[in-house]
Amino acid sequence: AVFGLTLLAPVDQAILMVGAGAVLVAARRLRPALATLVPPLALGLNPPLPAQVGTAEFLGRLGLIFLKVGGLLFGSGYLLVAFLHQELVQGAGWLTDRQLLDAITIGQVTPGPVFTTATFIGYVVGVRYGAGLPGAVVATVAIFAPAFVLVLLTAPWIPKLRRIRTLADFLTGVNAAVVALILGVVVQLAPSTLVAPVAVAVFALSVGLLLFTRVDPTLLIAASGIAGLIAHGGG
């Protein structure tokens, strides 16, 4: 269901994740009260930001977007792709599908977590508003800040939370939604990159290697890049 909604309707990923967790809890407990749990509707798509805005307004909007993304990411760093696609491609309109893929690639090949993609995106988008370096700083701080705050606030409670069955059921539902969201954004972005036979071949070979071997993803990315260079004559 989450996978279908990701493809067919612009439903906020946060709503899908919380909804999936709530549905599983309700199904496990058979309690009507939990079945009526509705996530806040304020987490919808962000409207596009006009090109003629001040630097401060742009940085504020950028910071809010990455605060939301950093606060809602769960389970896998690759869920970042789904959130960024909704917020920056479908919502704000700051990036195209291809630009988002390029940003994710930069985040993969540079040292550190895939979250460093935020730094690259903040800079690229910020240049349009005369705030390249400030944009990079704001996006980076904003995406990492929620994790530090949440750890500080919840650390004393984690041992107790682990023993709550309802919470465990909720997180099981959220985990399922995370997988569906990642798969959904892969399907959405595929037409932007699988446009040549060599790209299709590299994709198929990479999937096979990832599924059936223990190949290092970093080596796979590097080898795929070299294959692309060779296929296009190094140009």
Residue-wise pLDDT tens digits, 135-153 = 999 999 999 999 889 888 8
**Residue 230 pLDDT:** 86
**Res. 19 pLDDT band, cuts 50 70 90:** low
CB 176 within 8 A of CB 184: no
Pair 51, 148 in one domain = yes
Q: Do 95 and 126 belong to one domain?
A: yes
For 81, the domain range is: 2-193
Vertex 7: Cα angle to 5 and 13 (nearest 5) = 55
Q: Which is more confident, 33 or 164?
A: 164
Number of domains in the chain: 2
Q: Do 189 and 233 sit in the same domain of this protein?
A: no
What's the pLDDT score for residue 75?
59
Residue 73 sits in the same domain as residue 185? yes
Whether residue 137 is found in the same domain as residue 214: no
Of 139 and 23, the one with more pLDDT: 139
Q: Alpha-carbon distance 214 to 19, whole Å?
A: 34
Q: Mark whether 186 and 207 lie in a shared domain.
A: no
C-alpha to C-alpha distance for 115 and 18, rounded to whole angstroms: 22
The reported pLDDT for the residue numbered 110 is: 79
Residues in contact with 2: Cβ distance below 8 Å, sequence separation at least 6, in sequence order: 16, 20, 176, 177, 180, 181, 184
Q: Cα(142)–Cα(139) distance, rounded to whole angstroms? A: 5
pLDDT band of residue 183 (cuts 50, 70, 90) is: confident
For residues 54 and 108, state if they share a domain: yes
